[in-house]
Structure 1
């Protein structure tokens, strides 16, 4: 099953960034460097607020 893409708001700087729901590596905010997603081997743990699902599969 493919994953989805989510727009996540950074809790530190409110930058919105698109993150893959099944990220295989740590995803950091492009502005401040705060960790937005942690890999788990399946669905990633998203640490910011999910603003919207950009592409659901």
Structure 2
């Protein structure tokens, strides 16, 4: 199973966090708790700004 990792910037607190593109659970910001990504059964729905692709597989 291949997937990408993305650096995502939280729109509320500007924290940058690495998120797996096929996350199977809801991913929350480590600083403020805002939801960054939601699972959809395949690719995760990333709700904030993707800064860069950290690792592409």
TM-score w.r.t. length of structure 2? 0.97
Aligned residues: 57
SS of equivalent residue, structure 2 residue 7: strand
> Which residue number corresponds to residue 51 of structure 2?
51
CA RMSD, Structure 1 to Structure 2 (Å): 0.7
1:3-55 C-alpha deviation (Å, 9 max, x unpaired): 10000000100100000000000000000000000000100000110000000
Q: Which 4+ residue blocks in structure 1 deviate beyond 3 angstroms?
A: none
TM-score w.r.t. length of structure 1? 0.97
Task: Give the unaligned 5+ runs of structure 2.
Answer: none
Task: Give the unaligned 5+ runs of structure 1.
Answer: none
> Which residue number corresponds to residue 8 of structure 1?
8
> Which residue number corresponds to residue 42 of structure 1?
42
